[in-house]
Copies of this chain bind each other. A is one copy, B any other.
Amino acid sequence: MTQMNKQIIMKTRPVGMPILDNFEIKESPIPEIRHGEVLIKILWLSLDPYMRGRMSSAKSYAASLNEGDVIVGGAVGRVIETKSPDYDKDDIVEGFTLGWQEYAIANPSSIRKVDPSLAPIQTAVGVLGMPGMTAFFGLLHVGKPIPGDTVVVSAASGAVGQLVGQIAKIGGCKVVGIAGGKEKCTFLTDTLNFDAAIDYKNENIDEKLREYCPEGINVYFDNVGGKITDAVINQLANYARVAVCGVISQYNLTEPEPGLRTHRSMLTNQATTEGFLVFQFAQKYHIGMKRMARWIQEGKIKYKEDVVMGLENAPSAFIGLMNGKNFGKLLIKVAE
């Protein structure tokens, strides 16, 4: 009997905010794996904001999907068949392009082994994976905080934001998170020990930034862009560094949204804005992973996961992510 594979494809390219109709579940037989390949049973999917870029045909760092393609994204799985000398059956692996499906065929060059004794395996797409490395290197190498700096992070309870704030605290900074809703803000201050949190849905961001950052903002780790970012840019300190990790507020616009021109603030403050992709730090991931793992063991880094059960719920969960409905790192549990 041929094993069938359930896959979620991009039926139609989203225009603006994605809708359920843009996605479709498809079943097809799993092909034979070729020499050198492995067959992976997907256990966890990682849903990340950057994936919206893949669904667009505009220039982005993520390669564009075409209509009919399986949605590509990070995942953790178990090797169930192997024709590679480097992988054994039952190895746990993580890959950035495994995608929204029950089974994936992969080339060893596109996956890496995960050590299940280190931490729960889904952390391989979270705190010990791409989001963790994004927070670690984006904050430390792009934001370049020094002790005593005031660090502001947007989407602060998300997969990356929650880690950025905690790493900044370890580095002796004052940390202000911006998130949507009281529950998220309370989590930031009470559980993650952020110095302050601003609820952009219910509070005046300008006023609260003035209150919490009286000496200006030294480092801004931006996950959102848009009006929240405008407010932060207006309160930068001299020599501020803005690390642009994502602009989720802009991903679903059909027309560019005009906003604050930032060059005057950059000039007056001799400030720097730098966009980065985590891949530029690939040669150093091992350093970041070791430190993040140690900080977790020491209780210095906590992480919150938002787990949705079932592959078929990935599209609705992804749409929720685009709307800020997730609370913590968004994961789909596909199988045990």
Contact = CB atoms under 8 A, between A and B. Distances in A.
A278 to B, nearest CB: 10
Contact of A273 (B59, B256, B257, B266): B266
A277 B272 contact: no
Contacts of A260: 256, 258-259, 261
A127 to B, nearest CB: 22
A73 B7 CA distance: 68
Interface of A: 59-61, 222, 225-226, 229, 244-247, 250, 256-277, 280
Contact of A259 (B61, B226, B258): B258
A61 B273 CA distance: 19
A266 B275 contact: yes
A271 B244 CA distance: 10
A256 B231 CA distance: 13
A256 B275 CA distance: 24
A266 B274 CA distance: 6
B263 A275 contact: yes
Nearest to A238: B61
A247 B261 CA distance: 10
Contacts of A225: 261, 263-264
A132 B280 CA distance: 35
Given A60-B268, A268-B59, A268-B61, A273 B277 contact: no
